[in-house]
Amino acid sequence: MKKLLISLAAMASLTACGGNLCDDSEDAANDLFEKAEACGLTLSKPAEPTDAERDACKEALDACSDSDKDKLDEYLSCLKDAEGCADKTTAEQAAYGARVEACGAKLTGVSAACAFGSAD
């Protein structure tokens, strides 16, 4: 369960890479929340980003290379495709957490500027 929370926190930091990735990140965060809730995990619902946060996300696109964007897209797709729980048992919760954690491998090689939104 702790790993799932870490994945959600990592996702929040990724919303800085722009374009449709911003919308996809919001969708993936909401999907993760719904699946986690269905698994019986207690998480806080992701906050709705403000217009300013959405604009900042899209502007941060310049910090992300095409390769970065591809990796982020693969990560978000993996999260959205991760199968939820068949029931609310501890084993199912752990299996779901492992599926979400495995998606993190898709982020290997994403530049620090893109991953953390520091478009300086």
- Please state, in angstroms and rounded to a whole number, the distance separating the CA atoms of residues 101 and 105: 8
- Give me the pLDDT at residue 116, please: 55
- Give me the pLDDT at residue 5, please: 46
- Asked if pLDDT for residue 7 goes beyond 70, the answer is no
pTM: 0.77
Distances (CA, A) of 4 to 15, 21, 32, 45, 87: 17, 21, 9, 14, 17
